[in-house]
Copies of this chain bind each other. A is one copy, B any other.
Amino acid sequence: MRQIVIGAAQMGPNQKSDSREVIVARMVALLEQAAAKGCTLVVFPELALTTFFPRWYMDDQAEVDTWFEDEMPNEATRPLFDRARELGIAISIGYAEKTPDGHHFNTQILTDRQAKIIGKYRKTHLPGHSDYDHDRAFQHLEKRYFEPGDTGFPVWRTQDAIVGMLICNDRRWPEAYRVMGLQGVELVVLGYNTPSVNSQMGSEGLEQRLYHSELSMTAAAYQNATWVVGVAKAGDEDGHPLMGGSIIVDPNGYVVARAETEGDELLVHACDMDLCNFGKETIFDFERHRRIEHYGLITSQTGVVRPA
């Protein structure tokens, strides 16, 4: 048994007016709860430090940049890193990253239990659009404010497991999990900010949106024989509802813990990494069963080409 007690630290809404200091204090409180429950890894959501600002159209790059972090940790987040180090808890956090040379990414990091950053992932599958869209009920401007990630889908071998990261919309793309599965991933940690309403189909409804989120994570967990921890930022941000639905999924594709609220809420589960072994050695033993000679279109063709 290779057990990791994992905390999925769902966060309630961050309003535009909330300072990072106020938000980080909530994250520290979740971390303290996790420590009391024996967690050694705590996963926070995408864009944990701010509101989901891609819903707001901005023209002024200086204004856009106020939502980004120039370094990590920084003054606002140092209390979280310090407390994590004291408690011996590894953390994973999503935030908007501005690089020294001016690139903008939607980023997630993983630390070790000494609060040292050991992994960085930059979101690959940016949803939404680049320009103001008058046909939508509200904006989703991730393609405006972020560049597609340049990291690919790396994994990191920690003391306890082979760990990978995804962010939000990435979780709907089987390609993302499979690239990590081919590196033996045992634990995928991911954060998300998902509007409760489909901006292009208001009738879709929250229930269907929660189903699609869970369906994507549970199928990927099963088909790659990996744990998946999906953590929401949820609740009403300045009148714009984000769904919750944070879950911890086992390597059989079963949900073993699920958030009940749309607020700050900690899920805890003792995850045995050895539960990945059976699937990886039998039905999803890729070496014996995959037939890459027939998968060519997946990497040779981006969009759809219909038959004549």
Asked if A155 CB lies within 8 Å of chain B CBs, one says yes
Asked if A62 CB lies within 8 Å of chain B CBs, one says no
Contact B219 A307 (CB under 8 A): no
Contact B292 A304 (CB under 8 A): no
Q: Which of B156, B183, B280, B295 contacts A305 (CB 8 A)?
A: B183
Q: Which of B181, B208, B222, B283 contacts A304 (CB 8 A)?
A: B181
Contact with B along A288-308 (1 / 0, CB 8 A): 111110111111111111111
- A positions within 8 Å CB-CB of B: 124-127, 148-149, 152-153, 155-157, 162, 169, 172-175, 178-179, 181-184, 200-201, 208, 211-212, 215-216, 218-220, 222-223, 252-254, 278, 280, 282-292, 294-308
A-B contact pairs, 25 of them (CB 8 A): A125-B290, A125-B291, A148-B291, A156-B307, A157-B306, A162-B306, A174-B175, A174-B219, A175-B298, A178-B298, A181-B304, A182-B304, A183-B305, A184-B305, A201-B282, A211-B253, A215-B218, A215-B219, A216-B219, A216-B222, A288-B303, A290-B302, A292-B298, A292-B302, A298-B298
